[in-house]
Amino acid sequence: MLLTAALRHLTPIDRNAGMKPGEVLLFRMRARAVAKHLGILSQAGEAPRFIHAYNAHGVIDSPLTTPWQTRIAARFRFP
């Protein structure tokens, strides 16, 4: 459902394109699972970071570590 909404309202970014702050990241928490977690890239480059929310922690700015990067199902930008 998030993927469908993102495709309707946002502009998809090629998986191989360089990352830029402000991109919307859609995450799949398990392989082949429905993508249902979103974040916004807050910092690109050597130490990328993203803003997202957890029920127990609220909104946080986290490092976009390798485990998070492998969960990215799609990337988008605002039109």
Q: Identify the pLDDT of residue 24.
A: 98
C-alpha–C-alpha distance, residues 26 and 75, integer Å:
6
Q: Tens of pLDDT along 8-64? A: 999 999 989 999 999 999 999 998 899 999 999 999 999 999 999 989 889 999 999
Q: Identify the pLDDT of residue 20.
A: 97
Assign residue 38 the CATH number of its domain.
3.90.1720.10
18-22 own/partner pairs: CB under 8 Å, 24+ apart: 18/44, 19/44, 19/48, 19/75, 20/44, 20/77, 22/77, 22/78
Q: Identify the pLDDT of residue 78.
A: 96
Residue 62 structural domain:
2-77
C-alpha–C-alpha distance, residues 35 and 74, integer Å:
9
Total structural domains in the chain?
1
Q: What is the pTM of this model?
A: 0.92
User: Average pLDDT for residues 67-78, to the nearest whole number?
Assistant: 97
